[in-house]
Amino acid sequence: MTITEPFSLPVPASTESRGALEHGHRVSVRGARKQYGALAALDGLDLDIEPGRFTVLLGPSGSGKSTLVRSIAGIERLDQGSIHLGDVAVSDGHRYVAPERRGLSMVFQDYALWPHLTAQQNVAYALKRRRLPAAEATKLVGEALERVGLSAKGRHYPSELSGGEQQRVALARAVVGRPSLLLFDEPLSNLDADLRERLRVEISTLTRESGATALYITHDQSEAFALADEVGVLRAGRLEQFAAPEEIYQNPATPFVAKFTGLAGSFSGRVVHSRDGRVAVDLGGDVVFARGSESLGVIDDAIVLIRPTATSLEAATDHPEAASASTVPLNSDSAFTSVSIPAVVLDVAYRGRGYEHVVECRYGVLGGVFDTRPWSRGMHCSVRIDPSGCIAFPADTGTN
């Protein structure tokens, strides 16, 4: 991290076109490419964020999240492509607008506070270039610190504050200048679980109150889903899917998206019926039902991806009512039904609101199988699989 100075400045007068005057910036990224040697950190990425929306970029380490956010901030320069904030091209083949002239603020994982300045002074620093009358700046700083619950600690230096308090100062500093765009680079990663949850709520409320557009990056699916109006899933420098969290969970565009947003497991099989986006897949004895991608036809090899929410446990039966390939014409809704497969409990973990189980059946292992009561390790049971949380893809698409 070379730049630790926040960029909470209004958009310069010369760029005050219609888009820039809206409080939240519209963000448009087109064909963004950033190469590090042979590696494309951004590989022709497109992204559009509507003004005032809270977007979370989710992706594994190395997928290009930081590079994208830093390029939008102006800390990195794209090799190719363009970035517009509002109607203003801040980066394209011809123009490059400096970070402090983009009307944005950024919150970093490591807080990036000036160690030699107090909390008040750190927040006030963000207003420095505004040249406000001292009394007005003091009032804004006081309000921002109060908003994050740190009024009493304004005179403390960062070394005298806890991690959570330091990140609150950084948050106050980010919002004090009313930026049009707030960028968050994994701001909760250095905090422990309880504090992470509380600060997440504060970030969500404060950002939404401010009316700014927000772009937040994380590799944590639950954090992404909790915060986002829209989630963008990144893979190898490209956006794999961009949609509301519910849509991503229910209709993942690719096996990668499904896997990265939480699977109990996956089973391989062969499509025995296909109709109106629904398929029946023979796993080799039992048939499960799933929503299927358009390209899946009868006798295709398929991979069935199973969300944890689609699984439940029930007592083992001697005669499981397994559907067989010959009884699943899929010509009525009643045929698109849950199935029960014999299984053995491998592990059980207490999760506060109940128990998560790992179970093994003849087609593979499923994790995250929830029940309010614990099932003992080694116990024979049946795992019920509901089609609402099953998505089938052609087998050769893989999940990696």
Please choose, out of 60-68, 101-109, 156-164, 168-176, the segment that lies near ligand ADP by the rule CB under 6 A. 60-68
Q: How far is the CB of 86 from ligand ADP (least distance, A)?
A: 24
Strand partners, 303: 268, 393
Residue in 2, 14, 61, 295 binding ligand ADP, rule: CB under 6 A: 61
Residue 362 has, within 13 A of its CA and on its CB side, a CA count of 10
- Of 13 and 38, nearer to ligand ADP (C-beta) is 38
341's CB contacts (< 8 A; 6+ apart) are 286, 320, 322, 361, 362, 363, 382, 383, 385
Most distant CA atoms of the chain, gap in Å: 81
* Cβ proximity of 174 and 127 under 8 Å: no
**Residue 65 C-beta: closest distance to ligand ADP, Å:** 4
Listed ranges 54-62, 257-265, 281-289, 381-389: which one lies at the site for ligand ADP (CB under 6 A): 54-62
- Residue 65 touching ligand ADP (CB under 6 A): yes
Min CB(70)–ligand ADP separation in Å = 8
Residue 143 CA: distances (Å) to CA of 6, 147, 208: 18, 6, 17
The two beta strands, 181-185 and 213-218, are parallel
Is 338 an interacting residue with respect to ligand ADP (CB under 6 A)?
no
The residue count for binding ligand ADP (CB under 6 A) is 11
H or E, element range at 221: helix 221-227
Q: Is 71 in the site for ligand ADP (CB under 6 A)?
A: no
Q: How near is the Cβ of 132 to ligand ADP at its closest, in Å?
A: 35
d(CA 379, CA 386) in angstroms, rounded, equals 22
Those residues with Cβ within 8 angstroms of residue 161's Cβ, 6 or more apart along the chain or in another chain: 119, 153, 169
Among 15, 55, 66, 91, binds ligand ADP (CB under 6 A): 66
Q: Per CB under 6 A, which of residues 156..195 are in contact with ligand ADP?
A: none
Question: Hey, what are 302's tokens?
Answer: 């398929």
Is residue 63 a contact point for ligand ADP (CB under 6 A)?
A: yes
Residue that is written with structure tokens 């961009």 in the block: 242
By beta-carbon proximity to ligand ADP, the closer residue of 29 and 41 is 41
Nearer to ligand ADP by Cβ, of 75 and 174: the residue is 75
Beta bridge partners of 54: 214
Quote the least distance from Cβ 193 to ligand ADP, whole Å. 21
Output the smallest distance, CB 217 to ligand ADP, in A.
6
Q: Which of residues 6-45 bind ligand ADP (CB under 6 A)?
A: 36, 39, 41
Q: Which residues bind ligand ADP (CB under 6 A)?
A: 36, 39, 41, 59, 61-67
